[in-house]
């Protein structure tokens, strides 16, 4: 079984923020395949499982807040025998512009505290990650305030489109793995990027 984890923060305060894109993508995948979420106190997460693109998948949204996401991921990984390309973590990425996705089969946290927590709790970075770009076309003075605040309508609409594209990438990863998903989605430039 594949495990797909969308990172974010629980609670209404964080809904519709850029930092919750992992949750948004997981929700879109669940919606497409008519999967119903349930709370799990043991894993400190909201979970659902079923067939995604014909393959068995467990979707999870940690309810630990972003910086402790690794607790949920490690708990789920311990319960299952995972192969080399059986875990995908979805996170926002402020270093990528809105309109870009990046899939990697392994790597570092890149400064993302949710990914940092996952790597620390698993003890390695050998899991696939799907990063969804959230960098806006303007200079950001306070990065923390930006990722945790609601976006203007245009950028929110763009991230809505990215959520759909990222869900397509998740389905591709489930069926064909990281290498094929990266070939298919890493080069896409969804929106025009501003000139330097």
Record the tokens describing residue 179, joined without a space.
Answer: 């290498």
Local structure of 87: helix, strand or coil: strand
Active-site residue flag, 19: yes
CB–CB of 11/29 below 8 Å?
A: no
Contact 68, 117 (CB under 8 A): yes
Q: How far is CA 177 from CA 35, 75, 130, 162, 182, in A?
A: 21, 23, 12, 20, 9
What's phi and psi for 4, nearest 5 deg?
-120, 120
Beta strands in 36-177, from DSSP E residues, in sequence order: 38-40, 45-52, 55-62, 87-97, 101-104, 128-135
> Which member of 19, 109, 112, 124 is catalytic?
19
Residue 58 token pair: 């467990």
Nearest one of 104, 97, 101 to 164, comparing CA atoms: 101
Sign of the torsion formed by the C-alpha atoms of 147, 128, 169 and 61: negative
Catalytic residues: 19
């Amino acid at each position: 079984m594949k495990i797909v984890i969308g990172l974010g923060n629980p609670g209404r305060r964080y809904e519709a923020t850029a930092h919750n894109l992992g949750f948004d993508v997981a929700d879109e995948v669940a919606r497409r395949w008519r999967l119903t979420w349930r709370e799990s106190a043991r894993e400190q997460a909201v979970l659902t499982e079923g067939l995604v693109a014909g393959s068995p998948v467990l979707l999870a949204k940690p309810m630990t807040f972003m910086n402790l996401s690794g607790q949920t991921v490690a708990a789920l990984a311990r319960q299952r025998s995972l192969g080399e390309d059986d875990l995908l973590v979805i996170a926002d990425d402020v270093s990528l512009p809105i309109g870009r996705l990046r899939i990697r089969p392994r790597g570092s946290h890149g400064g993302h505290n949710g990914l940092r927590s996952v790597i620390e709790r698993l003890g390695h970075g050998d899991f696939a990650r799907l990063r969804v770009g959230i960098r806006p076309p303007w200079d950001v003075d306070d990065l923390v305030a930006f990722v945790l605040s609601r976006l203007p309508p245009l950028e929110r609409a763009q991230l809505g489109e990215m959520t759909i594209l990222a869900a397509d990438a998740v389905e591709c990863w489930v069926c064909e793995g990281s290498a094929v998903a990266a070939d298919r989605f890493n080069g896409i430039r969804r929106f025009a990027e501003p000139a330097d």
